[in-house]
Every structure is written in structure tokens, then in C-alpha cells.
Structure 1
Amino acid sequence: MAEADIKRKFNEALKFEKEGKISQAAKIYSEILGMNPKFQKAYLNLGALYSRSGDSEKAIKTYQKALDLGKTPELYYNLGVELYRLGSLDAAVKALKSSLELNKRYLNSHLLLAYCYKQLERPEKSELYLKNAIKIDPKNKTAFAALATIYFDTEKWQEALEAANTALQINPSDARMEILLTDIHVKLGNYKQSFETLKKVTTSAPGFVQFSDSIKAAKQNPKKEDKLFFDNLEVLTRKKLDEFKDKLTMSKESPEDFEAPQAQDALDLSLMYLFHGDTERALKYLLYAQKNLQENPASEAS
């Protein structure tokens, strides 16, 4: 097939890709490779299509054929991605390091190596590659968020706080990082900051807002079964709240004879108030539970 014809078919395959017609595009790339087995770009695109369709094994074989024609950082990275997906972490690490041998500033390889080492339970190596990624891209939100998680898992609370705050400065809408930040504040004993952060998340994150709005709508126009649920919930909440207050009062008056409310007591109340649509009270009792577990780690909520 003439070079002009191959180029025409290649552009046709690209068009199918943009339209989301994966099988048609893959068929044309295969036809091109049948005519010209040294067309590396067709291997690369075909491998990417197999990856998109979830067939990592075919993607790996295709990328390996492309590598036989010439080694590039992108090809080794793509190979590493598929090996990571299959759980072949050592092989993924090898492929990603080969990528960096060709281009030590290939950002995606640094990031994926960090995730590989996290899975391999080697946080010090994960931290190293995340810091490398930040040197390459000082405003990389993924790197800072992952670094905050690594520090949290290794109980480096102050470092976790700094990384999480930086991640949120770069990406203020990251609700998952804000939730991690509340846990970090609890670990540092910053309970007020933890509460304020939780309050912010529940009033802005789409999932929380949607849940709260659904509860309010159900209470305003309840069906018969909904009314029964909310009536019973009201009775149970009052009873649970009275028990909680009694425990708290007695523990303060006579701490040698009475224990303070446990984390599970607070978690129960938090959930009840959440279903009342009273987010602020729900958060206060959740914070009590967090504080209780932090101060009494041996006393786990059941």
C-alpha cells in the first residue's frame, strides 16, 4: 500500500477514535499494520484503544511490538500503566524506570511509580517519586494530594497538614482532600479546625448537598412510610440524646464512678441528626467521636 494510502487510512482511524467508534478504529489500525508492520504510531494508538476497552493483556502485547521498533518514554509509561492495572507491580516499576532512563523528567512515570511503591508498602520510595514530580511540576495537585495521604498513613501529621493545604490551594474543590484534612486536624488536636472544615465540606460538596436536600424534601412532603420513619427517628433521637447527656453529666460529676459517652454513642447521634437534616449537629457529634477515638485508641466504636 502506498504511503499516501496508509496516511489516509490512519486519519480515518483517528476520526473514528474521536467519534468513540473504538472497534472501527482498531480494525483500521490492524489493517495498516498488516500492510506496514513498522508503523510504530499505529501500534501506539492500537494499544491505547485496547487499554480504553479494558483489555490490558492485548495492550501490553501491542506496546511491546511498538518497543521493538523504537523505545520512547511514552511507550514504557503506557506499558507500566497496563502492568499496574494487572497488579504486576514489579514489572510496572521496571517499565516506568526504563521510561525515566530515556527522559528523567517524564512526569507521569514519577507519579505512577509513587503509586506502585505505595501498593508495595514502601512509603519512602513513594515519597521520593512524588517529590520528584513536584520538582517537575510545582503545582501538581495529584502529587500533593498523594503526598498528603502518604504522610497521613505514616503518621507524619504536620507534613500531612502542609501537603493537604497545598493540594487544596491548587484544587479548592477537592472534597476528598478536605475530608482528609479534618482527620489530620483531629490527629493534631485541632478540633475546632476539624469541625470548620467538615462544615465547609457538607455545605459545598455535591454529594453531601444532594443528600441533605433529599432529606429536607422528604420531611417537607413525606409519604406515609416516610412520616412514620421520621416520627420514630424523633423519638429515638430524643432518647439517645438524653442518655448521652446523662452519661456526660455523671462522668463530669463523678469521673471515678461513671464513664463518659463512648465514640459509638456519638456516632449514633451523628447519624440520627444527619437523617434529621441537621448537618451541624451531626458534625458536632461526629467530631466528639473522632476526639474520643483519638484520645482513647483502644476504645474502638463497634
Structure 2
Amino acid sequence: MDRRKRPVNAYYLFSEAHLSLKKGDVDRAIENMQRAMALDPQSAYLKRELAGFWLLKKDTASALKLLDDVLASHPDDVDALILAGRIHQNLNQPEAAIKAFSRVIALDPSQQNIYLQLGGMYMDQEQYPQAKQVYGQLVQHFPGAYAGYFFLGRISAIDGDRKAARAYFEKTLTLEPDLVESRFELGALHEADHNYQEAAAAYADILGQDPDNIQAQMALGQAYERQGLKQDARQIFTSLGTRSLSDQAVVRVLVRDYLDARKFDAADTIIQGMLTGGADNPDLNYLAGVALDGMGKKNAAIAQLKRVAPGSQFFQNAAVHAALLYQEMDKLQAAVDFLLDTIEKDPQNPEFFLYLGSFYEQMETYGKAEKALKDGLGLDPINSRLYFRLGVVYDKWGRKDDSIAAMRQVLRFDPANANALNYLGYTYADMGINLDEAEQLIRKALEQKPGDGYITDSLAWVFFKRGEYEQALPLLERAASLVPDDPIVKEHLGDVYSKLGMTEKALQSYRHSIANGHSDKAAVEKKIRLLTP
């Protein structure tokens, strides 16, 4: 038959849609599927297919609308529920996704993957009783589903029932003997029971399957260390230290399993052992510094961080970290001296000038701060962070016009920078100029940070400067609830109460401002005296 004379029906258009899809023409596929739906508007199948096409276009709104139409007339359509649940899951709408997936397994208990998705969502939401129920249903319907037993073990461990957890993990190994995740979990349970010999056996089993498993090597070394088998532990750690010189995976495992998990003592034990086999590895010196800082040993941390050479991927992080540790210890001059020495080693890094400038700012040596920040801008002329810090320095120095110019540069390179928008807007408000522009700037900052108490205070201050005290009051009360210990916000709230004749509340706010450490105590005390008979 001549193709041009073929009857145009829903099936024909459906076929054409899928042919277009195979050719990569998603728009044409959608057009043909919509024409097919026009001929068969009640077809749930066609709507589901079109929803899938919309997802290829990343148009989740159109896909969900179609699925809602399907479910309105066919509430038990399992395929539509699955697709809708996955869309809600991808959109981070857990309640809607959980509702859809729960309906799926109620209608069709054979949907094994949906149990896992639903259980996983409950786990993400830390709704462990619900997750336990779902995984229990999974293993009831699918006795060989080792993943169900694995997560039941995880939940039991979270609940503190280590005996049940061990039973579940051992069950997974009867179903899937090569599952290393269960052996790690068993090892951790044995460690929690201080049964380090059994823990070592679990980690050794993993290494029997996978001799290069870095995670298992570190855990086994720890288990040996805790048994007092220091020579065995040192042998493993030394080998890992040598390996770290050529294999970045060692560093990644250390960071993931120990430093990110805030297991600083364990990390320090491992790293110190590794340094005997990789003493010239500056990456390990950096990680040692992080671990020691986590343990509260700041001087020892600085000593390790200083050993990180410029060639290391962590050189910048190490230098900044060490400088900040000096700052935390109120040794600003040491921080400055250290950064000056660091800049000699790496003079092309603007980040070092940023921190150098901030330390000079804290020391109130604004000329040196200006020079350091401008030197950084000489290396990176569009660095908005450098311009912001320079604007703050000028403001503290009393150079308002220069501060405004610097903040405008920040917004030139980073128009949505909430801190700069607020800083410039508040500066205008405090000076009593450009109040309409100030309001626009601050409202734009609030779009970026809608719950920010300081920005809310800035907006209130615009209204205060206009004499619109009734409008300023609720904003300042909200700001004071968001940052209840800020002395400036308390002072501003007192100013508004005073203007509205609410003397007792004004006095209370001023007293709170002083109690919270207002930098100009005398000025606030003067306001109190003016209100006191």
C-alpha cells in the first residue's frame, strides 16, 4: 500500500512516534504521540508513553500532569504510579514519592525494586521503623533478596541491637558470600563489642577476596593496633604509606572513612604509621595536620601542615589551615609572618593575599590590608572575594566612598552576591542616602537568603531612615528573633521602640544590646539616659 494512503489512527501515530524517537527527534515523537492521544484521549497507555517522552525533554511538569490525569481515572495504574514516584524522588519530593511507591507495593507485591527504592527513601528520611517494615515485606516476598537482609542489619545496628544486626549480615553472606559490605558491617559490630580479634578476621576475609582493598587494610591495621599487635599494624600502615606515593585512592579512603567521619584518633594512628613508609608524601602531612587539629592538638597540626610542599595538591589548603590555626590561637602576627613566608614560595596565589589582608584588617593595620588585597587583585582582577574584603577594610578605615566603589565591583563580577548586596544597601541606609536603591539591593539579597536576620535588619533600617517606623518594627522584631544575641540589631530595635513611644521596650532592648557586647557601649548608654527620667 502507498504510505501516503495508510490510515492515520492512534496505533499508526504511536508507531511513528517511536520511529522518530529512534532517530533522535524527540520533538517529532512528542508531536505524533499527542496526535495519537487526540484520537484516543482515554488511553492511559498513550499518556504514560508521552510522559516518558516529556522526561526525555526534562519537562517534569508536563510529565507529572499527564500521570496525574492517568491516576485520576486509573488510581491503580501501577506503571503510572512507579513513574510518578520516580519523578517525585528525582525532584526531592519524598512525601509524594513515598506515597506513590507505597501504593505500588500494596497493589503489586511482586515489584521487588520498588521495595528497595521505598526502603531507601525511608532510610534517607531516618524513618527507620517504616524502612524496617518495608524491608521485612521484601524478604517475606523474596527470601533470596540479600539486600533486604543487609538493610535490616543496618537498621538493627542503628537501633543498638547488635545481635540481630549480626544475624542479618550473616544471612546476607549465606545468600551472597562475596558481599564485602556485610563483612565490613560485621567487622564494625565486632569493634563496637571490643572484639578486635573477630573484627580482624572479618577484614582479613575481605582481603582474602580482594588483597588490594584499601579500606579493609586500614581497618585491619586498626584492629591489630587495638589488640596490641603493633608490629602487624605497622607493617600494613607502612605498606599503605608507600602505596600512597603513587595511588591517590589511599588518600581518598582516608578522607572519606576517617576525616570526613571525624574519626580523628583513628586517622592519626593510621597516618602516623603510613608516614614511616611515605615520609616524603606531603599529602599525608596535610591529612596528619587535619587529624591533629580535629584532636585539638593545634601546635602539632601546624607543624605537620608546614611540611606540605608547594607541589602538593593540598598546599593551598594546608597553608590557609595553618594560618587560621594561628588566628584561632590569637597569634595574628605569627599568622601574618607565616603567610608572608608562604607567598615567597608561591607568589602567584591570590588566596594567600586574601587571608593576609583579612589578618591585617583584624589587626587594624588598614594600609597593609589594602596593599595585600590590591596585590591579590593584581593577580586576579575579577576576584569578587578580594573586592569584598577590600570594601570592608575601607569601611572600617572610614573611607565610605571607596568602600561603596569596592562593593560595586563585587556586584559587577558577582551580581547575585547576597553579602555585597546587603553591605551596599545597609551602607546607603546608614548614611541616609539612595534609600530606594538601598531597598532594592537589600530585597535582592533577601531573595538569596530569605531567612537571614542581618539582611532583615538592613531592610528595617531603610524604613527607619525614611521615618516609616511602623513598617520597620515587625522587620526588626523578626531580625531580633533570628539573631537574638546581636547587639546592633538590639540597638536598632530599641531605636524603633523609642520612636514609637514604647519606652520600656526600648530600654530593655538597649540593655540587651550592651549585655551582648555592643562595641560602642557609651553611645547606647547615652540613649538609655535620654529615656530615663
Selected match of 1:45 from 278, 287, 306: 287
CA contact (8 A) 2:418 2:445 kept: yes
Distance verdict in 2 for CA 1:153–1:175, change over 3 Å: same
Q: Tell me the TM-score normalized by structure 1.
A: 0.62
CA distance in 1, matches of 2:275, 2:407: 47
Distance verdict in 2 for CA 1:145–1:54, change over 3 Å: farther
1:120 paired to 2:348 = no
Q: What's 1:201 paired with?
A: 445
CA contact (8 A) 2:241 2:273 kept: no
Q: For 1:95-110, list aligned pairs within 5 A.
A: 95-110=338-353
Superposition deviation, residue 267 in structure 1:
5.1
Deviations 1:160-194 (A, max 9, x none): 12211221233333322222111332427222222
1:158 paired to 2:360 = no
Q: What's 2:473 paired with?
A: 271
CA distance in 1, matches of 2:341, 2:351: 13
1:139 paired to 2:374 = no
Matched residue SS, 2:398: coil
Q: What's 2:372 paired with?
A: 129
Distance verdict in 2 for CA 1:274–1:118, change over 3 Å: closer
CA distance in 2, matches of 1:156, 1:89: 24
Superposition deviation, residue 113 in structure 1:
0.7
CA contact (8 A) 1:182 1:195 kept: yes
CA distance in 1, matches of 2:304, 2:452: 43
CA distance in 2, matches of 1:101, 1:141: 24
What is the number of equivalent residue pairs in this alignment? 232
CA distance in 2, matches of 1:113, 1:158: 23
Superposition deviation, residue 102 in structure 1:
1.5
CA distance in 2, matches of 1:198, 1:301: 27
Distance verdict in 2 for CA 1:199–1:57, change over 3 Å: same
Superposition deviation, residue 42 in structure 1:
1.7
Distance verdict in 2 for CA 1:165–1:27, change over 3 Å: same
Q: What's 1:63 paired with?
A: 305
Distance verdict in 2 for CA 1:268–1:182, change over 3 Å: same
CA distance in 2, matches of 1:30, 1:122: 40
Distance verdict in 2 for CA 1:27–1:170, change over 3 Å: farther
CA distance in 2, matches of 1:198, 1:14: 41
* 2:242 aligned partner, one-letter code: K
Superposition deviation, residue 198 in structure 1:
2.8
Q: For 1:253-264, list aligned pairs within 5 A.
A: none
Distance verdict in 2 for CA 1:178–1:28, change over 3 Å: same
Q: Tell me the TM-score normalized by structure 2.
A: 0.38
Q: What's 2:243 paired with?
A: 8
Structure showing greater Rg: 2
Q: What's 1:183 paired with?
A: 426
CA distance in 2, matches of 1:131, 1:188: 29
CA contact (8 A) 1:77 1:99 kept: no
Deviations 1:91-111 (A, max 9, x none): 111110001112221222211
Distance verdict in 2 for CA 1:29–1:151, change over 3 Å: same
Superposition deviation, residue 269 in structure 1:
5.2
Selected match of 2:412 from 162, 169, 176: 169
Unaligned runs of 5+ in 1: 213-261, 277-284, 293-297
CA distance in 2, matches of 1:141, 1:9: 36
CA distance in 2, matches of 1:175, 1:61: 37
CA contact (8 A) 2:387 2:409 kept: yes
CA distance in 2, matches of 1:100, 1:203: 38
Matched residue SS, 1:200: helix
CA contact (8 A) 1:160 1:184 kept: no
Matched residue SS, 1:91: helix
Distance verdict in 2 for CA 1:54–1:165, change over 3 Å: farther
CA distance in 2, matches of 1:120, 1:275: 34
CA contact (8 A) 1:14 1:25 kept: no
CA distance in 1, matches of 2:385, 2:347: 19
**Identical counterparts, % of pairs:** 18
Unaligned runs of 5+ in 2: 1-234, 457-463, 479-491, 500-522, 529-533
Give the structure, 1 or 2, with the largest relative contact order (CA under 8 Å, sep 6 or more). 1
Matched residue SS, 2:451: helix
1:27 paired to 2:257 = no
Give the alignment's Cα RMSD to 1 decimal: 3.9
CA distance in 1, matches of 2:369, 2:418: 23
CA contact (8 A) 2:388 2:407 kept: yes
* 2:473 aligned partner, one-letter code: L
Distance verdict in 2 for CA 1:16–1:142, change over 3 Å: same
Deviations 1:125-171 (A, max 9, x none): 11111111112122222111111111122222222122112212333
Distance verdict in 2 for CA 1:179–1:273, change over 3 Å: closer
CA distance in 2, matches of 1:13, 1:87: 31
CA distance in 2, matches of 1:102, 1:270: 52
Deviations 1:26-73 (A, max 9, x none): 322111124454444321221133345664333113234x27xx6776
